[in-house]
Amino acid sequence: MIEEIEHLNRDYGVNVFLITDEYPTNDRQRWERFLDLLIERNLGIYILMETRAEDIIRDKDILNK
């Protein structure tokens, strides 16, 4: 997914992405790895998504990502 985002950003200038997964933050390790990979690439993009309030509370220490 990261490579696809990078491709769309680099080749087509897309800078806003909507994640339509019903529950993208379900697996915290997977979610944090996804965020870390996006940060590494420094694409200057925006991610739009929905998640659960309980996961926002659970992940309060990585909200800065």
pLDDT tens digits along 15-63: 999 998 888 898 999 999 999 999 999 999 999 998 889 999 999 999 9
Three-state SS at 27: coil
Q: What is the pLDDT of residue 19?
A: 92
Q: Where are the domains of the chain?
A: 2-62
Q: What is the pLDDT of residue 21?
A: 86
Q: Are 52 and 25 in contact (CB under 8 A)?
A: yes
Q: Which residue has the tokens 């680099």?
A: 10
Backbone phi, psi, residue 34, to 5°:
-55, -50
